[in-house]
Structure formats: structure tokens, C-alpha cells
Chain A
């Protein structure tokens, strides 16, 4: 699984960070940082939920 964020769509709502803090972090500058582009299988369910719950649908999962 590869995590891809469309930063033109992302509005730093931080929903993803709350669900999968191992992978997503919104920092004090209000920008989203991807901490781990290829999360291990144990994180896949969380990452999938983060993608689903993104209000801007800015997260795509490949593979």
C-alpha cells in the first residue's frame, strides 16, 4: 500500500492524523506531512479509514 495525498485538495483538517497518527501529521504550520508513505500491513485498516473519512477525499491508496 502506498499513500498519496493530493495537496491541492488537502485542507489540513487533520482527520487522518487522528485516525492514523503513525502515518499522518498536521504540524503547527497547519500543513500535512506524511510520515510513512508505505505503511506496514498492521496499519492498513487505519489508513483506509483515514482515506474514507477525509472530508476532502484527498487521500488515495495505491496497491
Chain B
């Protein structure tokens, strides 16, 4: 029987498994995930999971696998892939099991970057600040943060004002917690937004009572007074007492298990334009880096929910083409993300470009559509605040190669 192994049981891996079955793959399908939980959806962890009166973990489950028997998968949950033998077509798990495969989907995701001394497994009461240093990637992380807030944490320092940090700050404020949001960059979400839009995010948080501090770095996190909580020192000399510190300073792709495998590893598993990483091996989701032909073929690694679904499905079809001799197609999506903060829905369709213009609303009113054009004046993306329909229309326009004039007319 033909075996396909899927390393990674989150969104990209599960979607790959689902599409493999839908495309008629009837061989053995082994899905390996290092978390003990049934596959679940991550975006609510920094939002509804923290703000709801009662968090509903049932609702988090990915629907494709909510019924564990549905896709006839051979599960390996709570088990990590630790090495890949390409020549021998075998994945080895942390308990020593070797899984021989005919095809492999690499979808092992990414892990949070950590501050020195940060240990997500630390227990309270050991006298260090480790137990107060949290991160937010997994359900267990979210449970810890939720428990801290439920348990009466009143002061939270959030290091990093990217997606996770900004959303955690907003959710914690909604729970009535005093929040300080710190970032080394001059504006929040600086890696994905233009500076002015980033400052609008800062204003949004300030208007909701967050102490936003930009352009500063954390130099030390020490145990707090009486060994409770933490004392955060910044490079401008400021000291902040906190019950909990949440670190959201980006992620690194989970590729350590592939070292020495022969796959090209460079800030992720590098694939060709069709998501193929090697013969009979594809990669998808946060761990994968590929040349997106729609944007000049530059290598992209996209840490977004929708991309995990899109790329997981594409990689599944690509793998079947590899096994059956079908025609490979390039993966050339238009990126799209959303972030919910307070009553704002922030969406970016396409990519930010050097030229920008607001064609509807204003940043001050928190409801606007801003178009972006690239160096050659070509329409390349749109940022929408509380304008979800326009965000989706913009995404389609970028996909269709629409002009800036067309975008103005359609979205203005």
C-alpha cells in the first residue's frame, strides 16, 4: 500500500490530509503532530479564547478532523518527527518509530522566538521570573495565559507589538488588565504594515488605555518583589513591574529535525515554485519558503492562517502529481491576513508598496481603505480597517492584475 506521511498536524498538515483524501488518495495516510491535542484552530487563542466568559475548547477543533475517524488517518499525536532520511524515504519519530513513506508533506510550522532565560515549562515558585514569562502559540500557552488573567493578574507587559502581541494586548485590556505594549520598532506591526498605519495601531491601543512604548528593548526580566511576578527593565532605563510578561517577538520555522537531511533549509524549508522540496517531498504552511511567481519569484514564507489552508491543499495536489506523473502547477497566491483588535478588523490583501493612498474613510475614524502600489506604480495591495468586503475585493483585484485606477474605482 502507498503511504503518505504528513509531518505536522496543524492547519496546513490537516488541510493537506483532507485534500489528499478528497483527491482520491486511498493509501495509508500517517499524520504526525507533536502536540497531544486533536488538531485545533490557532487564531482564536489570542482573541476569543482569552476574552470569552467561558473559553470553548470544543469550538477550536479543526472541523476536518473533529471526528478523528472521518478521514481514515493513521494518527501519531503527541509525537514529534525527529529526523528525515531522504534516500531511505523514512521519517523517524521521537519514540524511535520509523515510518517509511512514498510521499511526505512537511508542515511542522514554527515556534515562538524566546528571550534569554525564557522557559515555557517553568513552574511558579522556583524563585526565578521564568514562570511569569509566557508566549502564545499553542493551546497550552493560551491556557496558561488565560489562567493567569483568571487568577487575578492585573499588570501584563507584552514584549513585541506584532500580530500576537497586539492581539494579546487588546484581549487583556478587554479583561480589564493594565497592559504595557513594548516594541523595538518605531511602530507596531512594523514588519507587515506601513509606518503610518502602524502608528494608527499604536493610537488604537493608547485610546483603549494601553501604555504603548516604541523604539525600546527589553534588557532584563528579573523576578519581582517577594519573588512574585517580574520586573522588566528596558534599555531606556524604565522598570516595569508585571504579574505576567507575554513575549511575542516572532517565530522561527521548525526545521531542526531536517538538519542534515539534504533538504535546503534557509529560514524554512525552501521549495520550488510548486511547493516541491525534493523528489516526493512537499512543504506547506509557516515552515515553507517558496518563490511566489506572482511577486517576481522572490522567496516568501507566509505565517498566515489562509496561506496554511491554501498551501496545504496545493502541496497535497502537487504530491499526487509527483506520485502519479501529473502536471505540477506553481503556487502563486495573493497573501491575505486579518487581525481583530478591540472593535477593529484589520485586513491586508496583497502586499504593502511604497506608494499609498486612502480611497475611502480616514485613519482617524478607524474605518478606511488604503491602496498600495509598487515601485512601478502597479496596484499590489490594500489595507482595510473595518472594511472586510473591500479587502476581499482587493485580493481578487490583485490576483486579476487590476490597475490602480480599477482599484480606485472598485474600492473607493
Contact = CB atoms under 8 A, between A and B. Distances in A.
B309 A13 contact: no
Contact of A13 (B41, B64, B392): B392
A30 B117 CA distance: 47
Interface string A37-55: 0000000000000001101
Enumerate the 6 nearest inter-chain pairs by beta-carbon distance, A residue then B residue, closest first: A14-B392, A14-B389, A13-B388, A18-B392, A26-B389, A14-B388
Given A11-B345, A18-B396, A53 B309 contact: yes
B63 interface: yes
Contacts of B310: 53
Given A11-B345, A18-B395, A18-B396, A53 B388 contact: no
Interface size class of A (residues with CB under 8 A): 10 to 19
Contacts of A55: 43, 305-306, 338
A57 interface: yes
A19 to B, nearest CB: 9
How many B residues are at the interface, by size bracket?
A: 10 to 19
B43 to A, nearest CB: 7
Contacts of B388: 11-14, 26, 30
B108 interface: no
A33 B395 CA distance: 21
A49 B43 CA distance: 19
A55 B338 CA distance: 9
Nearest to A13: B388
Nearest to A48: B22
B292 interface: no
Contact of A30 (B63, B389, B395, B396): B389
Contacts of B396: 18
Contacts of A20: none
Contacts of B171: none
Given A26-B389, A52-B64, 13 more contacts: A11-B345, A11-B388, A12-B388, A13-B338, A14-B388, A14-B392, A17-B389, A17-B392, A18-B393, A53-B306, A55-B305, A55-B338, A57-B41
Interface string B52-91: 0000000000011000000000000000000000000000
B398 to A, nearest CB: 12
Contacts of A57: 41, 63
Contacts of A11: 345, 388
A52 to B, nearest CB: 6
10 contacts: A11-B345, A13-B345, A13-B347, A13-B388, A14-B389, A18-B393, A18-B396, A30-B389, A53-B306, A53-B310
B15 interface: yes
Contacts of B338: 13, 55
A12 B309 contact: no
A33 to B, nearest CB: 12
Interface in B209-228: none
A1 interface: no
Contacts of B389: 12, 14, 17, 26, 30
A15 B43 contact: no
A17 to B, nearest CB: 7
Contacts of A15: 306, 392
Nearest to A27: B389
Contacts of A13: 338, 345, 347, 388, 391-392
Given A11-B345, A57-B41, A57-B63, A52 B392 contact: no
